[in-house]
Amino acid sequence: MTAARPDLPTTAAIAVVAYALANAFHEGLGHGGACLMVGCDPVLLTSMTFHGEEQGLGDLAQRFISSGGTLANLGAAAIALLLLRRTTPGAHARWFFLWLFATINLLQATGYLLFSGLGNIGDWAAVVRGWPMPGLWRLLLAAAGGISYWFAVDAMMKRLGARVPGAGAARLPVVNRLTLTAYFTGALLYVTAGLFDPAGLVILFIAAAAASLGGTSGLAWGPQLLRDPKAGPHAPPPLELDRDWRWIAAAAVVAAAFIFVLGPGIALGPPGK
């Protein structure tokens, strides 16, 4: 049995929706939700950042807001994996969307730990800032992020590989077509939206490019793990992504909102309220 070549426009469309939702979970539900939970006032939500009025909040509350994005990504991944288990294999586009959405959230969550540990910037650098032995905490963040990232890539690639006929390297053309299309589509979406962010080029590099090109890089190199014939043995039916105009139309709407509405940001309240 050979796998059909996935339709590129449909694959890219599913990636647009999955990447946009993952970042909305991180910034809006994660940081924004944590802000509301501890009583701070939301100020601005963009595609790449959330700002709240944190003056007067305690130290623990501020650290909780910083961790909220990653916690939301992990929660979103858990929900997607649960739904994936309940999705019939024949619902091909839905299955791939849930797989991709779970994968993006897992990679961005675990990758953020590694990013903050190595670079001493970002959410988790803010969480541990001021703690004794900062070098040790950075090392622990980097180690936890690197190890969990590897296991996340390995587990999700095996799950995808099981839906592609063949063994070992024979699966790579189809798997690469799926994951690389998603990876570059997501990077293009994030970087384009980041160009409109009021924070300028700083956000473009440390958020948009880091979250897409860096955070989900496992989509680019992860398929190589499937060269091992024992990784993700095939479990029929094979994944088939045909042209689906519903996903393409949905992606056009989501991309426009993500770039032109969330890109420059939505004012949620006056600063210093």
pLDDT in tens, 171-181: 999 999 999 99
Q: What percent of the chain has pLDDT over 90?
A: 77
Q: Residue 232's closest CA among 184, 149, 160, 145?
A: 160
Q: For position 155, what pLDDT does the model report?
A: 96
Span of 47-56, 115-124, 132-141, 264-273 with lowest mean pLDDT: 264-273
Spatial separation of the C-alpha atoms in residues 235 and 237, rounded to whole Å = 6
Pick from 29-38, 51-60, 217-226: least confident: 51-60
pLDDT band per the 50, 70, 90 thresholds, residue 16: very high
The string of pLDDT tens digits covering residues 177-194 is: 999 999 999 999 999 999
Q: Nearest 5°: phi and psi at 121?
A: -140, 165
Which residues does 55 contact at the CB level (< 8 Å), separation at least 6? Answer: 272
Q: What is the pLDDT of residues 118-170, one digit of tens each?
A: 988 889 999 999 999 999 999 999 999 999 999 999 999 999 999 998 888 89
